[in-house]
Structure 1
Amino acid sequence: MSDVNPLIEDHIEIAASPERVWSIVSDPRVMGGLSPQVVRTLIKGEDPIGLGTRTVNINRRGFLVWPTRGKVIRFEPNHEYAYRIKDNKAIWAFVLEPTATGTRLTHRREASDGLTDVSIRLQDKVLGGTAPFEAELLDGIGTTLRRVKELAERQ
């Protein structure tokens, strides 16, 4: 099996307050569709969103469509929002840092404990291999960051 990169990340400077950026990245219903892979995110249970909130994400790549299940594991208002994907053990996080002109937003996929064998096999057999898929994820992280920036700076 292919080696999994333990950390894939990128960041962007946004001319908006951390509170404004937080209002976007901490609501999975808003984030669904900002990612090139996550088409929609549904919340299981009641509002408000916080630590322990569970989601179902509908992902798409070309003709492939698949669901993943997430759980919010870090929720620090205006600073960090992170959720673990139950299906592959990956953690997806947004980290906000105030700057003189707004917010530095970092988006990352953490896999320090690796991914599930099923996930790695699917990447190798269906998604073109782990390294090309991770390159696609990094590109998607950049796209997501640019879309969050556009949305945050629009208002």
Structure 2
Amino acid sequence: MAAPLLQAQVDINAPVSKVWALISDFRRMPQWSPQCRLMRPLGPVRQGTRTLNLNRRNRMFWTTTSTVVEMVPEEKLAFRVNMNNTIWSYELEQIPGGTRVIESRHAENGVKAVSDMAVNALFGGTASFERELVEGMNASLARIKAAAESG
């Protein structure tokens, strides 16, 4: 059974506007996420926008689609992965000296049965896969931090 909430956070020495520009540019998602190879929005990024995604884990590739479910500029961006109904979000908060970013994977209502079966059959089970997702969140946030703090 999927954990209801997975989360990671980072403090970045850059203004919210700069961090938002990086996070809200879905085409750059492969630069941040170790698992994402492609994220293409089908139109301007706003609530309701759908994306086509390509993910990779070792030698395995799979496609998904997602839908932006919440967008508050410079505050929050959330999208639902349609294949499993999880919601991924980035929340930005201005802090002294920069921006705090919290990345979350919400599965409070569980995931679709087909997703559970795939994770157990192909990814070594839920616990192992979710540990890998949190590691990926931390890697993504570290990459966003590096990009935001450079030049």
* TM-score > 0.5 by shorter chain: yes
Q: Which residue, out of 107, 121, 128, partners 1:125?
A: 121
Q: Which residue, out of 14, 17, 22, partners 1:19?
A: 17
Q: TM-score when scaled to structure 1?
A: 0.95
The structure 1 segments of at least 4 consecutive aligned residues displaced by more than 3 Å after TM superposition are none
Q: Please name the residue that 1:70 is paired with.
A: 66
CA separation in 1, counterparts of 2:63 and 2:137?
19
> Unmatched 5+ residue regions in structure 2?
none
Q: Please name the residue that 1:40 is paired with.
A: 38
CA separation in 1, counterparts of 2:31 and 2:85?
22
Q: Please name the residue that 2:76 is paired with.
A: 80
Q: Secondary structure at the match of 1:89?
A: coil
| Identity value in percent | 36
* C-alpha deviation, 1:32, in angstroms: 2.5
Indicate whether 1:7 and 2:31 are aligned: no
CA separation in 2, counterparts of 1:32 and 1:79?
21
Q: In structure 1, what residue type is equivalent to 2:24?
A: S
1:19-78 superposed Cα distances (whole Å, 9 cap, x missing partner): 10000111111123310001111122x32x111111011100011000110000010000
Q: Please name the residue that 2:140 is paired with.
A: 144
CA separation in 1, counterparts of 2:102 and 2:63?
25
1:93-148 superposed Cα distances (whole Å, 9 cap, x missing partner): 00000001100000010001100000000000110000000000000000000000
CA separation in 1, counterparts of 2:23 and 2:38?
14
Q: Which residue, out of 105, 108, 111, partners 1:109?
A: 105
CA separation in 2, counterparts of 1:152 and 1:110?
25
CA separation in 1, counterparts of 2:41 and 2:9?
26
